[in-house]
Structure 1
Amino acid sequence: MLFRQLEYLVALSRERHFARAAELCHVSQPALSEAVRKLEDELDVPLVRRGRKYEGLAAEGERIVVWAQRILADRDALKDEVDALRTGLGGRLRIGSVPTASGAVSLLTGPFCAAHPLVTVEISADMQARGILRQLRDVELDAGLTYLHEALPEGFRTVPLYDERYVLLTAGSDGVRHRPAATWAEASRLPLCLLTGAMQGRRTVDGLFTEAGLRPEPRVETDSVGTLFTHVRTGQWASVVPHAWLHVFGVPHGMRAVPLVEPARTVPVGLVTVAREPESVMARALVDLARGINVAGVLERLPGRAVK
């Protein structure tokens, strides 16, 4: 019964609405409300601020939710461990990725699924770095792919995978199209389509422009990788994209991927998991596999520039 009460409380903290939390837990709203009330009685503290409608968790409730997430995660880890001992690893692996690293995810999930045929994988590929860390802490993800160039808070483990470099993607008649490399200054003078400023990948690109003493003003901004490529395809726009994306898209017909120099910088990208004991059996299995895969070697074989 305690586990069920904790599950209801965690669902309520996420949904911030009794009816939606009840729907998520596949119970009636009165049943969920009564279970939370009983938990309040057992712990002898208020968990929910109640008025004419749900007003959020009480301060005590916010603290209890953190413990509830840990307890439920440990329960699930124990079940996974027992299942792995009995029948092999099974269940669902949840991975979050910043958009700029999403092209490398398949280099991990393919071998992982081959090694663990009873596991299914759920990928959230358009996440912000802060969201990945939050969901890792809240046990909503098992692992994340994100940038490692900024200091991570305590409580996380990292496995470096590759150093990201950037290319200028163009399909227009600009002067850099047929050159072996382009400078960031030359890229800044083109009509650019870039990711939105709220995204870590865009902030990284802006940092490299700033290092070159530049501050470009993109005419089009988007949170979609596909939208960048479709805009470049028209010949009206250019974009700065991670080299790793060529693993997914290649260099589409009529486009050219030109390495960017001055500065020729790279940004480390890696796998992030929560540093806690006992460790999630899913996270541990993915980390062990990632350490044995040469992701950087695969990506380095991609074309630095090409015309199709």
Structure 2
Amino acid sequence: MIGLWDTTGNEVVKALAAERRSAGGVASGMALTLIVVVDEKRVREAEAAATIAAAAHPCRLLVVVRSDVERDHNRLDAEIVVGGRLGPCEAVVTRMYGRLALHAESVVMPLLVPDVPVVTWWHDEPPEEIATDFLGVVADRRITDAAQAADPIEALRQRARDYAPGDTDLAWTRITPWRTLVAGAFDTTQAEVTEATVLAPRTDPTAALMCGWLGSRLGIEPRWEHVDGQPRMREVRLRCANGDELTLTREDSMATFRRTGQADRSLPLVRRPLGDELAEELRRLDADQIYAEALGAAAGISGLDDRPAQRVHVWKDPSTARRAEAGVTAHASTNDAS
């Protein structure tokens, strides 16, 4: 491990090359570059998840921690790990302070592995519009997590409004086991589904995407029954045209599958670690059309997969926005006083 304090991007590139030579790393073994944008308080959590994902997808891991963008002095600290505590990957953890944090691409771009896909994952609330973050624009795949937002359901709607092919969300990844079990129930029947009901808390983004998936796949309007006091989605019920009813109910790490005329079955439905969810999304580096249709159905927006895949970077200075907001607040306070 190499630690560089108050350094430059050029020194980071040199140190990574030296560490690779020392450890015997070869860039040709990298399947992708994974950029992780994370807050300082959650760096270890993100590193643990990326370590699990890197075991399945050898990558160069670039962790970007932005701090105190309004400070006068710019500073870059970096930690370089090759084949060490972060598993079988080449990792660079960068901490950027001051205005440098608004131009993270100046440090990150020279560190990208040539000729492999780039994936950006926000382990935090993502930008409202991904085009305002160059680390999202440069990526082939972009992974967000609506559950990180203060209002997860509105965050999903915003992801639909801002969608471009290549986007995905970990709320979608979390319903993969549900979708697998529900789809498997129709291996032995051709009955048409006429009604669908999802029981979940009103703030659960996985339930919103489950409703969107059922609606886009079955051509019906699922009903979402809000169940307060539950931490996450609890049940999916389907009613068929022949009168059969199929129910999948979660109980801790198991699910009970009930079907008219058949004995109940217990099936595994485990909440997976964050690293396994991330690894699943790294398996595919093309656009996820099924996710786009489910997200569009959940948000009431059609044609998401027909949008251009390329984004054009839109510069946005958050400090300017904050100063403008403070000015408006001060002006309003003055008017109230007068």
The alignment's TM-score, normalised by the length of structure 1, stands at 0.30
Query: Which structure carries more helix by proportion?
Result: 1
The alignment's TM-score, normalised by the length of structure 2, stands at 0.28
Q: Which has the higher contact order (CA 8 A, sep 6+)?
A: 1
